[in-house]
Structure 1
């Protein structure tokens, strides 16, 4: 997935039409804010990219609005439900441009390909999972804030790319269970906070949540069989599930023992509503109980089975990780230079980039007799039944 500039001059089958930014065309500007319909974008928008419109020359205007790049003072967790620049009607599981200003795309620095998602929790700190970036060093990642559509660089709220100063991974991350799957990415410089680049709130430590419907977002696949990731940031509404119910549902679904580590939580379980491959490290965000118009990050996309099955997905519980987050943010602020003895680098290996957790079957057994295909987004592992499940039950 790369960021490319539109090369289109004409559109709609006429040389009298041009693809222009939506606020530069009178069509759709009747309310003062550009408005379009998601079905138009899905139909190709006459050959224009998502945030442009095929406009007749006679309807073009020149009053270009300046992009808001000035620093702002705004509380964490605010969303732009109608989009700060463009409103898209009839959206389904897709965000408005700039709707979730805390979303971060982590890119491979060698080719600017999308790797994983994260969230902005401070002007210079990104929260993500350890598993999705374990094979990357600091100079191999780019942090992109303010992204919406990877197929366009014509967004009115332009994205910003920043190098990575340091990656801090949880030293107790355990592959077999997904426990403590969390990492902090410290930026080389702080981001300027704007309407479309802003922070998400974090819950207090070990908080008991009122179970709610929340949103998970990212640029991963919509369906497990899709051949590519989405280019426009998606947003899926999922129900948060209590730990005991989640553990029982997973056990029942597979008829296998399963123990949910105390660092984990669950959400989802509704058919067709789920995070998916490529969403690793993305935030699970819930409305603040004190102010439902703002959001806090309660989870980090960790692992699950396929996408959209009637079984909950597992997330890293941010409230359980809050003391770890606070400690390392303070340590990195106060400590200079970085001490590798305190934050050891993870091992690097050639493990493929898909997760497979399956029981060890006898030579005469078929996979259908004991299916277990859990994915840890962004990494692949396989291990036998007895050691793995004894470990799961023993934590």
Structure 2
């Protein structure tokens, strides 16, 4: 049985997703150590049950997995169920049991795969599921790198004006067949009028060769009822599309982060915004890994702004901050786009933890501020999945 499991890994099976780049014997989190697959009964049991072991590294073609002495806590637990929190953390946005968002996330994971009819010698052709996961776990946008095809299939461009001269000025995230999550300040930002269009399935704005591009009309905008354009709080909106989107491996929703805590010190931002302060937007979708910044440090960075726009400072229950000392950041044009974390389960899915909201000059050692999605879960669910 062990030999068959090893063959499964060496053939590039989707049974493995995360790669930690740790050596054999190193700690890999949750009390686990990196071990050979052949020496890890819990990882073998995971494979037999259809779960995805986390890979530390490879010895030639043989996987070194993150091995736990007993059933490993899945990263889904940090996303989907209650976890421990420091006593001083807010309690808002902490659901118990499975939420509507979690059930829908399980539903949308099916679109990671493409069905293909396989010819046989019988009169009954077989349907084979082809893995189309494009997620890349080596997460290296200012200071970022180019995204790959299908890596962020939930990414949306938000457009303003009339065809054929649509101005694509904001980002967003597809969260269902009909709705895109974005920032409220992207709803009606200025002289070009309200958001009217969404473009999905795009990697390169000027030269997309995948033929998966979808342009959809926005018919309703749901700004959060507590948002106003003077202060910077509750900067979150939902865009309803005219028709349901036909989901596929290139265009499929992102999961909602349902808990305040998400158990990871960093997250990934993505967008087509400016790659430097005062520069121009990029045609190619960019990604960047950003460290989560604690609320006290973030408040210190924005002390001079606490007043008319931030009278209560950075509110931890509804906002989170992320940045990088090496000059990595989101920038103009990234507004409304996602700050996301990869999930171990469901396979090949991300959870959106934040919506890009505001910051000072890009990559100037000030963290960016993101609207904390978990706080708004129930508001989102009531609009997107009523009656579920």
Q: Shared fold (TM-score greater than 0.5)?
A: yes
Conserved in 2, the CA contact under 8 Å of 1:138 and 1:166?
no
Give the SS at the match of 1:326: helix
Deviations 1:292-342 (A, max 9, x none): 8531000000000111121211000000111111122245x79xxxxxxxx
Give the SS at the match of 1:323: helix
Compare relative contact order (CA 8 Å, sep 6+) and give the higher one, 1 or 2.
Answer: 2
Question: Is 1:278 aligned to 2:330, yes or no?
Answer: no
* Match of residue 110, structure 2, among 59, 64, 73: 73
Question: Is 1:312 aligned to 2:367, yes or no?
Answer: yes
Structure 1 pair 300/72, CA: closer, same or farther in 2 (3 Å)?
closer
Question: Is 1:102 aligned to 2:154, yes or no?
Answer: yes
Question: Is 1:167 aligned to 2:167, yes or no?
Answer: no
- Aligned residue in 1 for 2:277: 224
Structure 1 pair 163/93, CA: closer, same or farther in 2 (3 Å)?
same
Structure 1 pair 250/92, CA: closer, same or farther in 2 (3 Å)?
closer
- Aligned residue in 2 for 1:196: 250
Structure 2 Cα separation of the partners of residues 241 and 218 of structure 1? 20
Deviation (angstroms), 1:81: 3.4
* Match of residue 288, structure 2, among 209, 221, 236: 236
Unaligned runs of 5+ in 2: 1-107, 114-131, 138-142
- Aligned residue in 1 for 2:298: 246
Structure 2 Cα separation of the partners of residues 270 and 292 of structure 1? 31
Structural RMSD (CA): 3.2
Conserved in 2, the CA contact under 8 Å of 1:94 and 1:232?
yes
Write out aligned runs for 1:44-55 (5 A): none
Unaligned runs of 5+ in 1: 1-70, 84-90, 335-395
Between the two proteins, the alignment pairs up a number of residues equal to: 251
Structure 2 Cα separation of the partners of residues 249 and 159 of structure 1? 39
Structure 1 Cα separation of the partners of residues 385 and 305 of structure 2? 42
Structure 2 Cα separation of the partners of residues 274 and 174 of structure 1? 25
Structure 2 Cα separation of the partners of residues 209 and 243 of structure 1? 15
Structure 2 Cα separation of the partners of residues 98 and 107 of structure 1? 21
TM-score calculated relative to the size of structure 2: 0.58
Deviation (angstroms), 1:135: 4.4
TM-score calculated relative to the size of structure 1: 0.57
Deviations 1:228-255 (A, max 9, x none): 210001111101123233223443999x
Deviation (angstroms), 1:192: 1.0
Structure 1 pair 79/313, CA: closer, same or farther in 2 (3 Å)?
farther
Conserved in 2, the CA contact under 8 Å of 1:138 and 1:164?
no
Deviations 1:147-186 (A, max 9, x none): 1111114x22420111122111112114444110011001
Conserved in 2, the CA contact under 8 Å of 1:116 and 1:132?
yes
Deviations 1:203-236 (A, max 9, x none): 11x522224221111111010121x210001111
